[in-house]
Amino acid sequence: MIKNIIFDLGGVILDTDVKKSIAAFALLDINFPKVATPEFWKNLNAIGPYSLDEFSKMICTSTLKLVTNQQIETAWIALLGDFNARRMTFLESINLFTINP
């Protein structure tokens, strides 16, 4: 019997647009595509579960920019969009849960 199903939030439940995060980082004078190299993610993931503080420190260290955790978080979550109605209807149709307005 299946007890749990885990869905990825970004790109599955919520629409995402990475260009919005890239633009938000650009407003902080951070070229995020240049920062977010495979080596960056490898080093960050080597920490294990990481915090916003650790993520921010890695970005600040990589860019030599002094920005706050809040600015980094705001730029990062800019990629999150709305719930995708088609996907939500599908999830309801397979009776995993009911969406209550």
**pTM of the full structure:** 0.74
Question: In terms of residue numbers, what domain contains 69?
Answer: 18-93
3-state per-residue secondary structure call for the chain: CCCCCCCCCECCCEEECHHHHHHHHHHCCCCHHHHCCHHHHHHHHHCCCCCHHHHHHHHHHHHCCCCCHHHHHHHHHCCEEEECHHHHHHHHHCCCCCCCC
Is 13 part of a structural domain of the chain?
no
Is 3 part of a structural domain of the chain?
no
Is 101 part of a structural domain of the chain?
no
How does pLDDT run along the chain (101 residues), one tens digit per residue?
A: 777 777 777 777 888 999 999 999 999 999 999 998 899 888 888 888 889 999 999 999 999 999 999 999 999 999 998 887 888 788 778 765 555 65
Is 11 part of a structural domain of the chain?
no
pLDDT of residue 96: 59
Contact in structure between 55 and 72 (CB atoms under 8 Å): yes
pLDDT of residue 84: 79
Cα separation of 91 and 44, whole Å? 33
Is 2 part of a structural domain of the chain?
no
Backbone torsions φ then ψ of 92, nearest 5 degrees: -65, -40
Is 51 part of a structural domain of the chain?
yes
| Count of domains forming the chain | 1
Angle CA(86)–CA(92)–CA(94) in degrees, nearest 5?
A: 105
Is 76 part of a structural domain of the chain?
yes
